[in-house]
Structure 1
Amino acid sequence: MSTAARPTFDTEALRRGIEGRSAADLLSLYADDAEVRVVDHNTQPSHPMVKRGRGEIAAMLNDVYSRDMTHKLEQCVVDGDHVAFTESCQYPDGVKVLASSMMSLRGGKIVEHTLLQAWDE
């Protein structure tokens, strides 16, 4: 009798996507019915920006990762069906962004992603 291996989340794909600024690589980590919720200075907790499905998520990722800025995966922790990570970013003019994410997985794919971000003003 064999036991089926449980799908795992690919943290190296996450790193490659973030640091390589590849929206396509990042999108491959999301389930078709995924939802992303973004909370920041402009989209506060009572009215977060919500993106549903791969189409809306792709548009958001393409916007963010096409900008002239660096991205670095700082920390990443996987615990069962949950992933948490921090990402630091910097624009050429020195403005910094720090983002913290918590994600829920199903079958190794992201189904819920909450992102909190702050930037220099």
Structure 2
Amino acid sequence: MATAATPAFDTETLRRGVEGNTAQTLLSLYADDARMRIVDRNTQPSHPKILEGRNEIASMLDDVYGREMTHKLEQCVIQDDHAAYVESCEYPDGVRVLAESMISLRDGKISDQILIQAWDE
């Protein structure tokens, strides 16, 4: 009797999504009910920005990918139903952003993400 394999998280799609010019590829990796918590200088750990659902995440990603900047996936580690990755970004004026994410996976899709980011000031 054959068993159905759980879909694997696609790191190549993650790379294409992070390094691409639009949010669509990256958005395809999120579950419909995904949740993202963002911690940075403006939304500190005691009051993170919380995005609930794929539509709210899409709005944020559309804003980010609508800016003139480059994105690079630096590292990605996957273990069971969790993954972590580092993304570096740069604006044309040289301002850099570094972001680290810890994600929980369900059926090969991102169901929960904690994003911590810092940028040059």
Instruction: Write the distance in 2 (CA, Å) between the matches of 1:65 and 1:98.
Output: 15
Q: Using the alignment, how far apart are the partners of 1:21 and 1:11 within structure 2?
A: 17
How many residue pairs align between the two structures?
121
Q: Does 1:5 align with 2:22?
A: no
Q: Distance in 2 between matches of 1:37 and 1:82?
A: 16
Please list, as runs of the form range in 1=range in 2, the aligned pairs for 1:1-121 lying within 5 A after superposition.
Answer: 1-121=1-121
Aligned equivalents of 2:5, 2:34: Cα separation in 1: 23
Listed as ranges, the gaps of 5+ residues in structure 2 are none
Counterpart CA distance in 2 for 1:99 and 1:54 is 20
Give the TM-score taking structure 1 as reference length. 0.98
Q: Secondary structure, in 3 states, of the residue corresponding to 2:44?
A: coil
TM-score by length of 2: 0.98
1:7 aligned counterpart, secondary structure: coil
Offset at residue 51 of structure 1 (A):
0.4
Give how far 1:100 is off. Answer: 0.3
TM-aligned CA deviation for residue 6 of structure 1:
1.5
SS at match of 2:46: coil
Runs of 4+ in 1 over 3 A off after TM superposition: none
**Identical counterparts, % of pairs:** 69
Aligned residue for 2:111, secondary structure, equals strand
| Aligned equivalents of 1:113, 1:32: Cα separation in 2 | 13
Query: What SS does structure 2 have at the residue aligned with 1:4?
Result: coil
Report Cα offsets for 1:20-40 as digits up to 9, x if no partner: 132111111001100000000
| TM-superposition CA deviations, 1:19-75 (whole Å, max 9, x none) | 113211111100110000000000000000110001100000000111100000000
